[in-house]
Amino acid sequence: MDNYLILSEDGKTLRGVIKDRLPSRICIPEGVTKINDKVFYNCKEIEEIELPNSLLYIGEQSFIHCESLKRIIIPDNVKSIGSYAFCGCYSLNEVHLPSTIRIIDNHVFSGCKSLKRISIPHTVYKIRHGAFRECESLQEFTLPPLLTTISAGMFSKCRSLKTIEIHNGITTIDNWAFEACSFEQITLPASIRRIGIGAFSACLSLSSVTIPYGVEVIDNAAFRFCKSLKRIVIPDSVNRIGSSVFSGCDSLEHIVLPMFLRRIENGTFFGCPLKNISLPYSVEEIGSKAFSYCKLEKITLPNSLKKIGERAFGWCYYLEEVVIQSENVQIDKTAFWGCTNKQFFYKD
């Protein structure tokens, strides 16, 4: 037996290693069923690890920051891989997972900056938050069919990720799930109900998004800084659009709002080059800085409107005509701050 491995008395658990004796190639002997937590923590010289067919469990952070590890094959009997197990394995470029895996835990492959390919078995029904965060070389990914939620930060800052098919059955895209990815277009399935906070934030190449009827919530900053997004139609099923959802979308010129929307939140369209927009007759409140720095030339405020927040239309330098249909609307004194050419028209 290799004298750098520390095994339990029965030889079934790898409890630790003697780090100053480790070679670049590690072979864990048959009979080992479990690798304890943090066994290979920060072992930066390891390039290759051969795992035994007897292995069932890989502990939390077991290979974290093994920065020279390039490839690993998980044996067919492995049932569980602990959170952060391969986090920060910067050189890892290929992973094969067996069909015995049901759950991919938190941040398992987070920070694997060279990872280009990973095979996810159809048996996986849950991938927890941050599992592939900052896998900067990952270009495409196939979601397993049993998955119903794309978890928080799952692909956050996967800057090369261009292709992913979101299948019917996914109901939630959680917070920051696809932050700073490289999609050019996204078509969401009819099963989606919620798009989480920052879900597609800073997807700089995203120019086209298809949102299906059935989506109910588009949460805060969901599409913030999507600088290539030019137009979007939000279906009537959406009852809440969060704050700053389209803030910093420098190319957004056309949007259709849902029929039953009651509030336009703070900063929703901050800095968008919108020239015109039709507000639905259900809108009761426009939050602060909702349309600041837009290129609106005319705006009609519907009869349903009760309140306009501070700087809601601030610095809309091109705004010349404001048509107010409501007699009882409360307008903050700074609502039209910096709109030097505006004229108000009251219309029954």
The tokens of 64 are what? Answer: 């974290």
Q: What pLDDT, on a 0 to 100 scale, did the predictor assign at position 21? A: 87
Cβ proximity of 267 and 288 under 8 Å? yes
- Identity of the amino acid at 93: N
Q: Would 151 be classed as within a structural domain?
A: no
Helix (H, G, I), strand (E, B) or coil at 14: strand
Whether residue 342 sits in one domain with residue 256: no
Does the structure show a pLDDT above 70 at 81? yes
Nearest-angstrom CA–CA distance, 288 and 37 = 49
Give the C-alpha separation, 131 to 59, whole Å.
Answer: 15
Q: pLDDT tens-digit profile of 105-155? A: 999 999 999 999 898 999 999 999 999 999 999 999 999 999 999 999 999
Give the model's pLDDT for residue 202.
98
Whether residue 264 is predicted with pLDDT greater than 80 in this model: the reply is yes
Tokens of 116: 């280009």
Give the per-residue pLDDT at 348: 60
**pLDDT at position 1:** 53
Is residue 146 a part of any domain in this protein?
Answer: no
3-state secondary structure of 54: coil
| Exposure of 257 in the CB half-sphere (CA atoms within 13 A) | 23
The last residue of a domain, from among 260, 287, 303: 260
Q: How many domains does the chain have?
A: 3
Rounded distance between C-alpha atoms, residue 164 and residue 208, angstroms: 14
CATH number of the domain enclosing 32: 3.80.10.10
How sure is the predictor about 7, in pLDDT bands with cuts at 50, 70 and 90?
A: very high
The pLDDT, as a whole number, for residue 71 is 85
Pair 251, 227 in one domain: yes
In the structure encoding, which two tokens stand for residue 271, read together?
């800095």
Q: Is residue 81 part of a domain?
A: yes
Q: Domain of 338?
A: 262-348
**End-of-domain residue from the set 214, 234, 260:** 260
* Dihedral in degrees, nearest 10, Cα atoms 33, 39, 43, 49: 0
pLDDT > 70: what percent of the chain?
99
Binned at pLDDT 50, 70 and 90, residue 345 comes out as confident
Q: Is residue 157 part of a domain?
A: no
Rounded to 5 degrees, φ, ψ at 19 are -65, -35
Mean pLDDT, the chain, integer: 95
In a shared domain, residues 129 and 27: yes
Instruction: Note whether residue 28 is domain-resident.
Output: yes
Q: Which of 48, 43, 83 is nearest to 67 (CA)?
A: 43
Q: Is 212 found in the same domain as 181?
A: yes
Same domain, 73 and 130: yes
Report the alpha-carbon distance of residue 214 to residue 233 in Å, rounded: 13
Strand partners, 208: 185
Helix (H, G, I), strand (E, B) or coil at 21: helix
| Residues 109, 16 within the same domain | yes
Q: What is the Cα–Cα distance from 142 to 244, expressed in whole angstroms?
A: 30
2/129 same-domain check: yes
Side chain identity, residue 85? A
Q: Which of 197, 227, 260 is the last residue of a domain?
A: 260
Residues 1 and 129 in one domain: yes
**197 and 290, same domain (yes or no):** no
DSSP letters spanning 69-82: --EEE--TT--EE-
Measure the N-to-C terminal CA separation of the chain; round to a whole number of Å: 89
**Are 83 and 109 contained in the same domain?**
yes
Residue 140 lies in a domain: no
Q: Could you tell me which of 165, 163, 97, 99 has the C-alpha nearest to residue 131?
A: 97
> How far apart (Å, rounded) are the C-alpha atoms in residues 56 and 76?
9
194-250: pLDDT as tens digits = 999 999 999 999 999 999 999 999 999 999 999 999 999 999 999 999 999 999 999
115 and 21 inside one domain: yes
pLDDT recorded at residue 295: 96
Are 241 and 220 members of one domain?
A: yes
Residue 22 within a domain: yes
The residue with greater pLDDT, 21 or 237, is: 237
Q: What is the pLDDT of residues 284-328, one digit of tens each?
A: 999 999 999 999 999 999 999 999 999 999 999 999 999 999 888
> Does residue 158 lie within any of the structural domains?
no
